[in-house]
Structure 1
Amino acid sequence: MENWPDSTLDDVGRVARSKGVERLRTTAAVLLVIVLVAGVLGFFGVRSSTATAQGGGYGVDLTYPRIARAGLDVPWTVTVHRDGGFDREIVLAIDTSYFEILEMRGRLPEPSSETAGDGLAYLTFDPPPGDEFTFALDVRIRSGRQRGESGSVSVMDGEKSAVTIYFDTWLVP
């Protein structure tokens, strides 16, 4: 008959102290510390970015969430600048697919009119006094969203775009 161990625990101490298990334990501890430090330093929160473009006599700045998580408030602001001021309405064309990741809570100012077509929402604003116009959305990333979205914002000059900014938002778990 074979010589069986008295207990299934007889070799546990030897396996637990082996080099392979020791390396695995050390690697797991180092990864855990890296994740904790990244969380404390805020690397898993919202990272906003600003994109800038010029064209057709307009300057446009867009502040948007570059990296975000579901359920968090995010910045989304478009500033349009035109030397000499605005002599007619401002029309912003925003990619409607981008709104799929956003939970809209408000916008300031409200457009005087809006319409949609060809995958774009056209928001029309009365000309403001001065050289600068700012449109802000009060939004958060929708709960349960796991994938980000790409979008675009254009300042329209009649039927064509005077200037366009393209941007991407990445979502992390």
Structure 2
Amino acid sequence: MVDSTLQDLDDTTQVRAFWIRRAATVVLVLVVAAALFGFLGVRTGEVSASESGYDLSVRYPEIARGGLDTPWEVTVHNDQGFAKELTIAVSGDYFELFETQGFHPEPSDSTRDATMLYLTFTAPQGDTFVVSYDAYVQPSSQRGAAATVAVVESPEHPDPLVEVQYRTRLSP
């Protein structure tokens, strides 16, 4: 005679469910902690290089999200000052991530070849030039992009005097 109706039941399903719930809780806690400490949010990066008498620095969106404003700013410094014009080359497809209000200051000329966008500016007085790009990530953008920014002599002479490379990643 059996005294219990639970005697033949298998309890391994309950133990497995217990560990699955515990693992899911740990994953949830890790995601919340990552969000609290800013690992899942928008982040700005900066890269710089010095060569041929030029110091080039680019502040860019390292991690961005669709629909949000993003910083993009290039600073070029040359102790000797600049000639009549300054040309900055940027990977041509990089700006496809963004909706824009434009460059500040506006380039006096721009041209594009198969890989690069060349922005030519009237050289500033002094030894430092700063250009910013007023933009936000297109809401439909799903993937990030890598970019190269360089100071070049001109679009006709595109060998970089100084260049930096970086990557923008997009999060959902």
- Interval of TM-score (by shorter of Structure 1 and Structure 2): 0.7 to 0.9
RMSD, aligned CA: 2.0
Q: Which residue of 8, 28, 31 corresponds with 1:32?
A: 28
Following superposition, the deviation at residue 84 of structure 1 comes to: 2.3
State percent identity of aligned pairs: 39
Structure 1 stretches of 4+ with a deviation exceeding 2 A read: 14-17
Query: Which runs of 5 or more structure 2 residues have no equivalent in the other structure?
Result: 1-5
Name the SS of the counterpart of 2:93 in structure 1: helix
Q: Distance in 1 between matches of 2:100 and 2:33?
A: 32
1:155 is aligned, of 151, 154, 165, to 151
| Aligned residue number for residue 51 of structure 1 | 47
Deviates more, 1:67-76 or 1:57-66: 67-76
The Cα shift of 1:105 comes to 2.0
1:99 paired with 2:98, answer no
Q: Deviations over 1:128-172 (max 9, x none)?
A: 111100010011111121111111111012412211111111112
The equivalent residue for 1:168 is: 167
* Aligned-partner Cα distance in 1 for 2:65–2:51: 33
Which residue of the partner structure matches residue 110 of structure 1?
106
Question: Aligned to 2:35, what secondary structure does the other structure show?
Answer: helix
- Give distance in 2, aligned partners of 1:76 and 1:15: 58
Q: Secondary structure at the match of 1:18?
A: helix
Q: Deviations over 1:103-149 (max 9, x none)?
A: 11232111111111132111111111111000100111111211111
- The number of equivalent residue pairs is 162
Aligned with residue 90 of structure 1, among 51, 65, 86: 86
User: How far off its partner does 1:15 sit?
Assistant: 6.0
Question: Is the CA contact 1:68–1:170 (under 8 Å) kept in the aligned structure 2?
Answer: yes
Q: Structure 1 167/25 Cα, relative in aligned 2: closer, same or farther at 3 Å?
A: same
Partner of 1:124: 120
- The residue number in structure 2 matching 1:5 is none
Unaligned 5+ runs, structure 1? 1-9
Q: Distance in 2 between matches of 1:87 and 1:123?
A: 15
More strand by share: 2
The equivalent of 2:136 in structure 1 is 140
TM-score using structure 2 length: 0.86
